[in-house]
């Protein structure tokens, strides 16, 4: 190795003629040809989609064997892996949340009944918990760090940890148009709970930094737009147009030499514009290909402006948008807060007149069981949408992991010493399914939620030495 | 061996083409070239340096005449260097030139060079349009937005040009990948925008989520509150100073002046003074307070810290008594709206706020016999001795704590049973001795009473009102505001204080005595009223727990900043009437109003509070009548819906049992909700044109020049298009417009576009900008070897096709040179006035910029790139297991040391030779520990100058840990790298790059076996090919062996060998250690150092690599240095008044005038 050798004095001492010799040459741009770089961040929707390698779009895909779990390096996959976190606040009805057996013959409790068709792709995971959320105070303190495993600060200044979905978004999100999709069916709140935790912790489970949540989209129409209407691209295009005008004006006033420098700028603008165009045409081509193969792209019209009057409609739309985003590879990461902690949602259609949070205080009641079963039904609905989308030999669901999660197990006792967790989908063959996994009898060190996240992130090719409060993988998942 | 040559930059081709009519001098040069130089090349060089395979990619067949040489002079200077060093032709070459032949060619090159430099002196050179460097971009964004966002932290590192700087067009490229990073950076910046009712501002955090918006404003408001002087003790002290102003040596001082000196509000001091000095006979609390006031010692009678303690006792007396008479405000409710509902809580907040300056007469205790009069002197005597005076931080004193404190002091106050929570709130200074106060000045002179009093104040460990919060490990930094977690303030828990008054009501208390006789009682009540009016129960409330529940239970729930005291819903309440009315002046009132307005507007507080109310009441609004008031419905904050909801609730309230007060509270609440939301809507509409105006101002500042009418129209039309065609809302369209501005080449690039100036002729301005002194001094200082006779220096004429910079261009060049950032308002004002090019204005502005804090940017960017420590903050080559002392904090301190040194050198205008020879340096406690320098304490940002630094082996740049560390490969030192750093960075010698495939030294000193590093190196260099280079610099590095891999002083290396500090320098001189190196430089190569510094600084200032035509300016800089004791400022002044800096090559594509063509 020469990197540490005496002679590498510094980079400026490299032979000068290894750099440019001519007065000016158009710089070759290896970075342009190398790995594509994409814009990241909320509100920026500019990137090349993964379309080329999605067989549903009919392009040739180089077949690569699916990587086994724990493979040291993650080979390129024929289909992308996706992860969605589906959250429902305030716990479940403990009497009716259980499963026995495995696979086709798995026996499911009343609440989990909607998942019967998906048993082979289901894991029912019991006994995990999030230690930093235990014993610190109920509700917001149990919720705001459910995806980060970091302690939360009370009082006015928000501080927790970056959530696992955003860790993934930072690592793999730049490969898609949207790094992640953060949706909710209930408006976020601020203010304070009696425990002195901010209600922002009750509303947000997805955090882009320790002190700032990812803004949550609750309007289906706007969530749809950010995937399909390409607002971000249109707005970027507008900026590019004007900037190009500026550059043209400048170039008339400056010397030939300066114009050579400015030309780098103009070329860059054009190049970026081309990519926007390319993305659009890819989308058109993809749609045409899909039709040609007789594999219907999800038909979904833009939802109406405003919030749906009926929460059932609202949740269904949000599930559809997640499904559509995954199918078309607009994003590979989604977090959907069906109802937040301390939820004020109402369920007249279930003939329950209490709001969600109030009902959860009587969590062994039939009413609350109905509510939770309704939510599990939404989870099953999303799985069914994904499972109806062929992808390779399987379906999109097979390349996905849907995680269902609540902030506590029992709402009446605010008990979060174990959490109700479900997964659906094999995450591209990396996650064994059709199992009931019980961790209650394991030691506290061996049943951490963050260990589970580490295991999931590993399977998606993001290997971290530690995350949240965990530095070991979950054994047996 | 490969011969490095410089980048062939810029368009020099026209030079060669232009050389068609050589004058006599060039004819002679041409002749010599053909007779002597060309044959020399043919004979000794071309066998290697020709054709496709030319060694070092140097094909000398390309040079067939003089013009081809002058067209590529930088290469020829390197050829000259190699010839002089006898490195070429190589020793093993079959044909070697004679000494005379060699000499002739060398002289010819030198002479042509000198002629060239003379002819083209003052040529501004080609300063390319170029993008801002990453550093410039970050600094500019900082100055533009007021927040330090550093958007380029994930950008690729900017490449450096040949001189080592990253600010030139030669190296700064743009690519699509980078362009997209700029786009994301612009988006990030725009995400921080704060829409204010009267303009645009930027927040330290992104303003995307509601919690971000709340946080930003809440912290600013609380920070404002905490900066205000609200400690009664400070006012009593100031009043005492006014009372004794004559004795304190300020007989003429006014109350307002004293207030300013004491950093208290003049307005409120006047109020307090009037009360204390009121000559009328007083009763009740006023009599007691005045007695305490009169009992304060006169100046000189007492230890000043005792005086301070006595004013604090007065404060405690006031606070303690004040708490006992706070009126109680009950909870109210109405059917459907419990005591915790928004209308009822806000009613209670309002009642409490309205009562801040009143008291409850019902709490007084009528009695036939007055209590025994207090003996104030006795109080003084029983008060704790000055040395142990409790340091009572006003700011963290809760009433409960005050009582406990008072009880601890033995005062006869109502007993309280402190809970652990209350005890925890006791001021941490309780019982701690106050730092002793000196009674004599440093020079032995006895201090005046006033000075002693001030010193005592300064020595108070307690936090004075408005001072920085004490830092605890829990401290959270957010947006530049430091906050404890949780924040505590005096004024925090007035609810609890109210409850305390209620709780202790009825316990016999002499403080609450009033006579039974009605007429007498009236006098007392008036005194209580006055007392309550002057001393509010709180100046402001910065945090509130739930106000309708048991305050003692709630008290642990502090930290709900500006909260209205609601449960589980968004709610804020402004309660700062006494502060506003009694303490703030008009400017401060405006500032506070502004902060609240921004908060309510930007965070949409009225709308969100109403929506939050609807959420919170969902369980009680089960009735179908409420169906349309779902919070999801965007229309719920419309005037109609607020009103109709109020109607429903009022009707429901009236159906049940409701008190008129509660009914009115509900009505008032909805009136307020309606009017607040109307304000929000109307303000939004009214603010839109204001924001557009602010957008134009932003663009103008971004472009660093006035906008043209077309540009203004374009920016506005962009906004409009975004709203109409892209469907963006106002706020998003403003953000997009900011992005559009930040992506414009006008912002991103250094563009010198001014085409108003006539091309090629000195415009009227050029009489001013053509510094007549310079060519003369250049000619005088110039050793114009060669043809041009020194006796007839050519008059300076600006090279053809140049133009003077416009004043805006000049302002930009100047500020990017000295600040790496945009010009400030003052500089732009001079540009606008058109007088910046006047030498006296230009020099005055230059001096101002040098003294400004932005000069730190210069230290980091110029110093950091020149000396190669710019990226040291990311240096991770140290094995921290082996060097546990190397922490991030130490790394940062190492980075800062040269920055502090350079800033000091520049701002104090010290000799630049101090860089080498200074016997001082700057350290913070962390670096001091690393260096073994004792008695440097405090926080990491405490930097002190250390004189006599050689006692610790430091002083000047050479032994700074940062350079020793950055030039060590981990587990051993590297004399090679360290020496190369000295020779290359400081002395400016051109060291060729190493050949490939050279042997590698062990990575760890401990693995060197029996040899020292020096011996190993010596063995390594037995190969003459290696030695030829290594002998140039190894010795410069070996003298540093007394410093280990992280710059720590040492006597043994890691293999436990004693270190050798001796070295034999290239000329055979033997020296030892850094002191020896300094001696060697001083006696042998100081000129090289000075020349190098001048060249580096000039190259950095111009943003380009130097040309031969810059030589005379460099000579001038050196001459100025030598004649000014080597002070720094003449260097900068020489640069900014040079034609290079003041002019620009004209844009026309015409051939640039060449040296040999006219």
User: Which of 138-167 (B) contact A at CB < 8 A?
Assistant: 160, 162, 164
When CB atoms are compared, the residue of B214, B634, B718 closest to A238 is B718
What pLDDT is recorded for position B8? 32
C-alpha to C-alpha distance for B583 and B568, rounded to whole angstroms: 34
Residue B456 has pLDDT above 60, yes or no: no
Mutate: best of A30, A42, A157, partner B, most B CBs <10 A: A157
**Chain B residue whose CA is closest to A26:** B173
Q: Which tokens hold the place of B1051?
A: 């006597």
Residue B89, preceding peptide bond in cis (omega within 30° of 0)? yes
Q: Between B676 and A53, whose confidence is greater?
A: B676
Residue with tokens 């904050």: B637
CB-CB under 8 Å, B6 with A235: no
CB-CB under 8 Å, A245 with B714: yes
Mutate: best of B632, B716, B1017, partner A, most A CBs <10 A: B632
Q: Could you give the C-alpha distances from A447 to A128, A133, A413, in angstroms and in order?
A: 5, 14, 21
Compute the radius of gyration of chain B from its Cα atoms: 38
Residue B1152, preceding peptide bond in cis (omega within 30° of 0)? no
CB-CB under 8 Å, B559 with A196: yes
**Chain A residue whose CA is closest to B976:** A6
CB-CB under 8 Å, A4 with B4: no
What pLDDT is recorded for position B501? 65
With an 8 Å Cβ cutoff, is B1151 touching chain A? no
Residues in chain A within 8 Å Cβ distance of B561? 155-156
C-alpha to C-alpha distance for B915 and B959, rounded to whole angstroms: 11
pLDDT digits (tens, 9 = 90+) for B1019-1054: 766 776 677 677 778 889 999 999 999 999 999 888
CB-CB under 8 Å, B970 with A4: yes
Strands in A275-418 per DSSP E: 333-339, 346-347, 352-355, 390-391, 394-395, 400-406
What pLDDT is recorded for position B1010? 74
First to last CA, chain A: 41
CA within 13 Å, CB half, B855:
20
Residue B395 has pLDDT above 60, yes or no: no
C-alpha to C-alpha distance for B1036 and B1016, rounded to whole angstroms: 16
As a dihedral over the C-alpha atoms of residue A298, residue A303, residue A307, residue A312, rounded to 10 degrees, the angle is -40
SS3 A27: coil
- Pick the range with the lowest mean pLDDT from B217-221, B712-716, B727-731: B727-731
Under the banding of pLDDT at 50, 70 and 90, the label for residue B1147 is low
CB-CB under 8 Å, A342 with B219: no
What pLDDT is recorded for position B303? 76
Q: Could you give the C-alpha distances from A406 to A57, A314, A371, B971, in angstroms and in order?
A: 36, 19, 13, 51
Other CB atoms within 10 A of residue B741 CB: 28
What pLDDT is recorded for position B437? 37
B574 φψ region: left (φ > 0), alpha (ψ -120 to 50), beta (else)? beta
Other CB atoms within 10 A of residue B512 CB: 23
SS3 B46: coil
> What is the average pLDDT across B346-358?
95
Under the banding of pLDDT at 50, 70 and 90, the label for residue A277 is confident
Residues in chain B within 8 Å Cβ distance of A37? 177, 180-181
Q: Between B117 and A151, whose confidence is greater?
A: A151
Residue B399 has pLDDT above 50, yes or no: no
Q: Between A252 and B895, whose confidence is greater?
A: B895
SS3 B186: helix
Mutate: best of A25, A29, A156, partner B, most B CBs <10 A: A156
Question: ipTM, 2 decimals?
Answer: 0.76
∠ at Cα B731 (B727, B734), nearest 5°? Answer: 90
Strands in A356-424 per DSSP E: 390-391, 394-395, 400-406, 419-424
What pLDDT is recorded for position B951? 95
C-alpha to C-alpha distance for B235 and B272, rounded to whole angstroms: 7
Provide the shortest C-alpha distance from residue A380 to chain B (in Å): 26
Residue B760 has pLDDT above 60, yes or no: no
C-alpha to C-alpha distance for A336 and A357, rounded to whole angstroms: 18
First to last CA, chain B: 40
Mutate: best of A8, A184, A191, partner B, most B CBs <10 A: A191
What pLDDT is recorded for position B827? 97
CB-CB under 8 Å, B177 with A190: no
What pLDDT is recorded for position B704? 96
> What is the average pLDDT across A428-455?
96
Asked whether the beta carbons of B788 and B118 are under 8 A apart, the reply is yes
Q: Which tokens hold the place of B610?
A: 């109403």
Other CB atoms within 10 A of residue B617 CB: 22
> What is the average pLDDT across A81-102?
97
Residue B488 has pLDDT above 60, yes or no: no
With an 8 Å Cβ cutoff, is B994 touching chain A? yes
What's the mean pLDDT when you consider all of chain A? Answer: 81
What pLDDT is recorded for position B118? 81
pLDDT digits (tens, 9 = 90+) for A280-326: 666 566 555 545 554 445 567 778 777 787 899 999 999 999 998 99
Q: Between B702 and B785, whose confidence is greater?
A: B702
Return the percentage of chain B with pLDDT > 90, whole number.
53
Asked whether the beta carbons of A368 and A362 are under 8 A apart, the reply is yes
What pLDDT is recorded for position A279? 66
- Pick the range with the lowest mean pLDDT from A65-74, A329-338, B291-300, B401-410: B401-410
**Chain A residue whose CA is closest to B734:** A235
With an 8 Å Cβ cutoff, is B977 touching chain A? yes
Which residues neighbour B1023 within 8 Å (Cβ) at sequence distance 6 or greater? none
Residue A199 has pLDDT above 50, yes or no: yes
Query: What stretch of H or E contains B810?
Result: helix B807-818
Provide the shortest C-alpha distance from residue A14 to chain B (in Å): 6
Which DSSP letter does residue B984 get?
A: I
CB-CB under 8 Å, A246 with B745: yes
pTM of the model as a whole: 0.79
Other CB atoms within 10 A of residue B876 CB: 8
What pLDDT is recorded for position B997? 64
């Amino acid at each position: 190795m020469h990197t540490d050798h005496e002679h590498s004095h510094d980079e400026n001492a490299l032979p000068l003629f290894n750099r440019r010799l001519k007065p000016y040459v158009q710089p070759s741009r290896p970075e342009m040809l190398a790995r594509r770089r994409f814009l990241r961040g909320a509100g920026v929707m500019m990137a090349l989609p993964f379309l080329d390698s999605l067989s549903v779009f009919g392009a040739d895909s180089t077949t690569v064997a699916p990587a086994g779990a724990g493979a040291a390096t993650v080979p390129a996959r024929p289909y992308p892996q996706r992860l969605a976190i589906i959250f429902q606040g305030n716990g479940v009805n403990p009497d009716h949340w259980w499963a026995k057996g495995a696979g086709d013959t798995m026996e499911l409790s009343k609440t989990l009944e909607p998942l019967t068709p998906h048993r082979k792709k289901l894991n029912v995971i019991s006994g995990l918990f999030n230690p930093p959320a235990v014993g610190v105070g109920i509700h917001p303190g149990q919720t705001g760090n459910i995806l980060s495993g970091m302690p939360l600060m009370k009082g006015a200044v928000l501080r927790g940890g970056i959530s696992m979905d955003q860790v993934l978004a930072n690592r793999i999100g730049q490969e898609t148009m949207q790094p992640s999709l953060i949706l909710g069916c209930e408006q976020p709140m601020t203010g304070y709970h009696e425990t002195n935790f901010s209600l922002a912790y009750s509303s947000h489970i997805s955090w882009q930094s320790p002190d700032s949540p990812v803004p949550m989209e609750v309007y289906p129409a706007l969530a749809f737009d950010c995937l399909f209407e390409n607002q971000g691209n249109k707005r970027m295009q507008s900026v590019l147009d004007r900037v190009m005008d500026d550059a043209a004006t400048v170039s008339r006033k400056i010397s030939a030499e300066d114009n050579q420098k400015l030309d780098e700028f103009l070329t860059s603008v054009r190049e970026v514009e081309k990519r926007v165009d390319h993305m659009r045409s890819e989308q058109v081509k993809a749609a045409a290909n899909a039709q040609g193969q007789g594999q219907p792209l999800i038909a979904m019209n833009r939802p109406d402006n405003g919030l749906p009057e009926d929460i059932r409609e609202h949740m269904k739309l949000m599930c559809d948008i997640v499904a559509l985003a995954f199918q078309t590879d607009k994003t590979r990461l989604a977090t959907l807060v069906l109802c937040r902690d301390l939820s004020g949602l109402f369920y007249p259609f279930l003939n329950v007149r209490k709001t969600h949070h109030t009902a959860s205080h009587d969590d062994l009641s039939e009413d609350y069981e109905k509510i939770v079963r309704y939510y599990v039904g939404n989870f099953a609905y999303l799985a069914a949408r994904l499972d109806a989308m062929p992808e390779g030999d399987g379906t999109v669901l097979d390349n996905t992991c849907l995680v269902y999660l609540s902030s506590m197990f029992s709402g009446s006792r605010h008990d979060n010493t174990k959490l109700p967790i479900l997964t659906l989908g094999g995450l591209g063959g990396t996650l064994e399914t059709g199992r009931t996994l019980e961790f209650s009898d394991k030691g506290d060190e061996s049943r951490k939620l963050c260990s589970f996240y580490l295991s999931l992130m590993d399977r998606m090719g993001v290997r971290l030495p530690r995350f949240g409060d965990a530095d070991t993988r979950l054994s047996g998942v | 061996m490969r011969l490095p040559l410089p980048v062939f930059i810029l368009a020099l081709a026209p030079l060669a083409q232009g050389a068609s009519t050589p004058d006599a001098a060039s004819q002679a040069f041409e002749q010599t070239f053909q007779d002597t130089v060309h044959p020399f090349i043919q004979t000794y060089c071309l066998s290697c340096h020709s054709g496709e395979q030319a060694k070092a990619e140097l094909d000398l067949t390309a040079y067939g005449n003089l013009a081809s040489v002058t067209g590529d002079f930088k290469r020829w200077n390197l050829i000259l260097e190699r010839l002089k060093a006898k490195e070429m032709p190589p020793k093993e070459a079959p044909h070697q030139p004679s000494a005379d032949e060699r000499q002739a060619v060398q002289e010819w090159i030198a002479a042509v060079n000198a002629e060239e430099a003379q002819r083209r002196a003052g040529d501004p050179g080609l300063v390319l349009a170029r993008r801002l460097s990453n550093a410039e971009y970050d600094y500019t964004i900082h100055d533009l937005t007021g927040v330090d966002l550093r958007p380029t932290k994930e950008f690729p590192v900017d490449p450096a040009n040949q001189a080592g700087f990253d600010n030139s067009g030669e190296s700064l490229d743009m690519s699509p990948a980078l362009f997209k990073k700029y786009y994301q950076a612009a988006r990030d910046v725009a995400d921080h925008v704060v829409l204010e009712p009267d303009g645009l501002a930027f927040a330290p955090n992104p303003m995307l989520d509601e919690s971000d918006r709340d946080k930003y404003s809440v912290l600013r408001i609380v920070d404002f509150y905490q900066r205000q002087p609200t400690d009664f003790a400070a006012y009593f002290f100031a009043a005492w100073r006014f009372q004794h102003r004559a004795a304190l040596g300020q007989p003429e001082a006014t109350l307002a002046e004293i207030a300013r000196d004491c950093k208290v509000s003049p307005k409120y001091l006047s109020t307090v003074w009037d009360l204390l000095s009121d000559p009328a006979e007083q009763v009740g609390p006023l009599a007691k307070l005045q007695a305490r006031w009169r009992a304060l010692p006169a100046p000189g009678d007492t230890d000043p810290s005792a005086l301070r303690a006595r004013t604090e006792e007065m404060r405690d007396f006031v606070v303690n008594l004040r708490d006992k008479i706070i009126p109680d405000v009950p909870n109210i409710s109405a059917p459907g709206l419990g005591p915790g509902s928004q209308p009822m809580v806000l009613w209670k907040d309002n009642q409490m706020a309205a009562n801040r300056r009143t008291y409850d007469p019902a709490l007084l205790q009528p009695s036939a016999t007055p209590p025994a009069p207090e003996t104030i002197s006795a109080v003084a005597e029983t008060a704790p001795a000055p040395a142990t005076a409790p340091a009572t931080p006003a700011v963290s004193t809760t009433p409960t704590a005050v009582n406990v404190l008072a009880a601890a002091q033995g005062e006869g106050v109502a007993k309280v049973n402190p809970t652990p929570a209350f005890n925890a709130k006791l001021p941490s200074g309780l019982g701690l001795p106050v730092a002793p106060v000196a009674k004599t000045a440093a020079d032995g002179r006895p201090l005046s009473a006033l000075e002693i009093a001030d010193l005592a104040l300064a020595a108070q460990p307690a936090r004075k009102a408005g001072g920085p919060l004490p830092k605890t490990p829990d401290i959270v930094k957010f947006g530049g505001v430091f906050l404890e977690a949780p924040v505590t303030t005096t004024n925090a828990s007035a609810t609890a204080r109210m409850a305390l008054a209620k709780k202790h009501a009825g316990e016999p208390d002499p403080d609450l005595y009033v006579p039974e006789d009605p007429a007498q009682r009236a006098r007392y009540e008036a005194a209580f009223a006055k007392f309550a009016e002057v001393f509010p129960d709180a100046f402001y409330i910065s945090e509130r727990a739930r106000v309708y529940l048991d305050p003692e239970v709630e008290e642990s729930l502090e930290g709900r900043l500006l909260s209205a005291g609601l449960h589980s819903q968004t709610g804020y309440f402004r309660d700062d009437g006494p502060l506003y009315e009694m303490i703030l002046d008009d400017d401060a009132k405006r500032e506070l109003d502004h902060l609240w307005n921004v908060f309510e507007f930007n965070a949409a507080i009225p709308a969100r509070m109403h929506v939050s109310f609807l959420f919170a009441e969902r369980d009680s609004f089960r009735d179908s009548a409420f169906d349309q008031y779902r919070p999801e419905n965007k229309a719920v904050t419309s005037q109609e819906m607020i009103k109709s909801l109020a109607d429903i609730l009022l009707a429901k309230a009236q159906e049940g049992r409701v008190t008129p007060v509660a009914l009115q509270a509900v009505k008032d609440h909805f009136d307020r909700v309606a009017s607040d939301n109307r304000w929000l809507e109307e303000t939004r509409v009214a603010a839109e044109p204001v924001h557009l105006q602010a957008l134009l101002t932003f663009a103008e500042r971004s472009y660093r020049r006035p906008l043209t009418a077309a540009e203004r129209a374009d920016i506005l039309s962009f906004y409009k298009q975004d709203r109409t065609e892209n469907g963006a809302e106002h706020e998003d369209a403003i953000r997009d417009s900011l992005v559009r501005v930040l992506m414009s080449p006008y912002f991103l690039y250094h563009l010198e576009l001014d085409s108003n100036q006539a091309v090629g002729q000195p415009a009227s301005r050029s009489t001013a900008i053509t510094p007549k002194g310079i060519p003369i001094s250049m000619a005088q200082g110039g050793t114009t070897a060669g043809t041009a006779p020194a006796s007839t220096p050519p008059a300076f004429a600006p090279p053809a096709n140049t133009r003077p910079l416009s004043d805006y261009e000049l302002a930009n060049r100047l500020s990017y040179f000295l600040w790496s950032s945009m010009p400030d308002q003052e500089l732009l004002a001079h540009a606008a006035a058109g007088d910046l090019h006047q030498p006296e204005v230009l020099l005055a502005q230059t001096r101002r910029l040098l003294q400004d804090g932005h000069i730190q940017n210069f230290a980091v960017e110029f110093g950091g790139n020149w000396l190669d420590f710019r990226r040291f903050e990311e240096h991770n080559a140290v094995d921290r297991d082996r060097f546990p002392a190397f922490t991030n904090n130490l790394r940062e301190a190492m980075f800062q040391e040269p920055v502090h040194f350079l800033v000091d050198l520049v701002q104090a205008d010290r000799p630049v030779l101090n860089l080498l020879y200074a016997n001082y340096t700057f350290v913070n406690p962390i670096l001091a520990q690393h260096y073994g320098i004792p008695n440097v304490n405090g926080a990491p940002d405490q930097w002190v100058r250390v004189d006599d630094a050689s006692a610790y082996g430091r002083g000047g740049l050479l032994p700074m840990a940062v350079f020793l560390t950055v030039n060590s490969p981990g587990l051993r030192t590297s004399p090679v790298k360290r020496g190369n750093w000295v020779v290359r960075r400081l002395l400016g010698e051109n060291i060729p790059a190493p050949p490939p495939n050279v042997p590698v030294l062990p990575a760890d000193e401990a693995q060197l076996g029996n040899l020292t590093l020096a011996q190993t190196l010596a063995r390594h260099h037995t190969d003459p090919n290696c030695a030829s280079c290594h002998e140039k610099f190894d010795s410069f590095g070996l003298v540093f062996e007394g410093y280990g891999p992280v710059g720590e002083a040492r006597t043994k290396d890691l293999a436990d060998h004693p270190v050798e500090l001796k070295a034999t320098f290239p000329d055979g001189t033997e020296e030892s250690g850094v002191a020896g190196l300094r001696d060697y430089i001083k006696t042998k190569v100081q000129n090289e150092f000075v020349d190098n510094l001048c060249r580096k600084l000039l190259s950095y200032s111009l943003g380009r690599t130097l040309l031969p035509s810059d030589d005379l300016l460099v000579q001038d800089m050196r001459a100025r240095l030598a004649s000014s004791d080597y002070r720094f400022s003449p260097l900068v002044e020489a640069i900014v008044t040079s034609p290079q800096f003041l002019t620009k090559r004209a844009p026309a594509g015409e051939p640039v005038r060449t040296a040999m063509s006219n």
